[in-house]
Structure 1
């Protein structure tokens, strides 16, 4: 079957480590099912895997990808939940110390077929195309958990989204606006600031700009480059929710004095549960919102999609059709 996979690692040029070609169809352990993939989406996680971050060399070659929408063996249209927990684990899958994501220990979704535990499939809403649904299991689910599980925000509160443009950031803007929050966003790029307003932000500011007032919560995915600004933008008792650090994880200052003196809360957030994925799908259907797609490529042209993400010229999700 056709797949996009990591054959080696290259920390400096991850695209050089990517292969697009034939791979064996997935093995299907007991309790798992094979999904015929119709569409799959790209995440920064896939670029990090090509660099050798989070993927063990003994697991190469590894089909990349966490996101997929497709058809199960019974002909049902489904969305794949990418968090694979231990079969004995009960409760929140993201807290299972033995958990992994598709494309880490198990072959991923950038292929014609993917095998997943039967419990890891969720019905696809009829109102979403396969391309739209494929955007949801990582970026949109991460955003949903950040906003509705981890932040403590409520309708009417003000939330700042750092780094408008990426998959999680655009998801956060749209979800927060649909939930009745006042949404501010930042970006270095003027065009991305304009797009942020188009998809729901009330205001958009240049990265590092002083906010008109301090906010109830900051959604942080950038890390090192925006860390200090995020903490300085919070009101007393505010919350910073962090789910990534695409610019690095070593800010010049941890701002510890500010954190304890203003009683700020720093909350980590990783992916989301199968239940939260089902809730997200229902919320989007009820609110009448759909994912933002930057571009769509056939899987055979996966290298072009990876190159586009690596260059940073992205607003929304990159999707591959199968």
Structure 2
């Protein structure tokens, strides 16, 4: 089969398109013929470093994927051959206290496709049957492939952690990436008011067209002051920050008293100042968040279907050009998801 395989990190050719052995499913697995994938910042991280993630090379890249059931090796699975499915990428042990509570991302032994084992930038992937969910009727492969990482992460941040309510104000730091845009769309779907920030005027304009109440240029404006102006001096009930670094202090300043700040990343740095006095005097709540549970994924699939929400897709590349797609994502120029189309072989 054809795949994007990471063989080394010694040069630009470490990840390349080429032939790789088709996966051999184990008992309890389902073999999926992939039709689409989408790429995420973690794919760029895996290509450049992968530090802290236990894995061996060569490895097929890719966390997100959707396709059709090709083989079923679990006699208890209700799936059917040819059924359209999407991959839930967190492979949990099923036995620890977190799995028994239904919180797979906290599993003591969790592994992810494209990080700890072969991923979805390929014609086939084999995963446990429990990680394969039916795609709702009317949803295409490209849409489904956008949801597992970016949209599920945003779902848990907004509703699982921050408990966002209609009428509240949420500030989304660094609009343009998959999680930030997903947070904007889901917040608007829930009836919340969304303020976004970016250094790029074009991205702010795109966000306003998507329903953002206001866009703040973080390069030319004082973001906390502007947020206070837009909220009559109260600040935002919720702040979504996946950037961290020097801007973390600003996130604390723009949160309302009793506000909730949720982080899922630290692309600008992982050791910002804590400003603990502000945290306890204003009684701020700070949540860390990663992905979401399988139940949350089912809720997301249902909500997207019911609301007719369409993920924002910036560009679509064929599998053969997925390395160029990774380069584009790394440039930071995208607005929305970058999707990989995986055509059926002739």
Residue 22 of structure 1, aligned match among 16, 19, 25:
19
Following TM superposition, by how much is the alpha carbon of 1:53 offset from its aligned partner in structure 2, in angstroms? 2.4
Q: Map residues 92-107 of structure 1 onto 2, 5 A cutoff.
A: 92-107=103-118
What is the alpha-carbon distance in structure 2 between the residues aligned to residue 103 and residue 187 of structure 1? 29
8 Å contact from structure 1 (residues 162, 226) kept in 2: no
Q: Map residues 93-242 of structure 1 onto 2, 5 A cutoff.
A: 93-207=104-218, 208-209=222-223, 210=225, 211=227, 212=229, 213=231, 214-242=235-263
Aligned to 1:269: 289
Q: Is 1:303 aligned with 2:329?
A: no
**What SS class does the counterpart of residue 174 from structure 2 fall into?**
coil
8 Å contact from structure 2 (residues 35, 68) kept in 1: yes
Aligned to 2:83: 76
TM-score (norm 2): 0.89
What is the alpha-carbon distance in structure 1 between the residues aligned to residue 328 and residue 146 of structure 2? 16
Structure 1 residues 280 and 16, CA gap change in structure 2 (3 angstroms):
same
Q: Is 1:288 aligned with 2:288?
A: no
8 Å contact from structure 1 (residues 55, 104) kept in 2: no
Q: Is 1:279 aligned with 2:276?
A: no
Residue 313 of structure 1, aligned match among 333, 337, 342:
333
8 Å contact from structure 1 (residues 128, 290) kept in 2: no
Following TM superposition, by how much is the alpha carbon of 1:56 offset from its aligned partner in structure 2, in angstroms? 5.3
Following TM superposition, by how much is the alpha carbon of 1:58 offset from its aligned partner in structure 2, in angstroms? 5.7
Larger Cα Rg: Structure 1 or Structure 2?
Answer: 2
Which consecutive segments of 4 or more residues in structure 1 shift more than 6 A? none
**What SS class does the counterpart of residue 115 from structure 1 fall into?**
strand
What is the alpha-carbon distance in structure 1 between the residues aligned to residue 192 and residue 82 of structure 2? 39
Q: Is 1:3 aligned with 2:9?
A: no
Aligned to 2:76: none
Structure 1 residues 170 and 105, CA gap change in structure 2 (3 angstroms):
same
Following TM superposition, by how much is the alpha carbon of 1:30 offset from its aligned partner in structure 2, in angstroms? 1.2
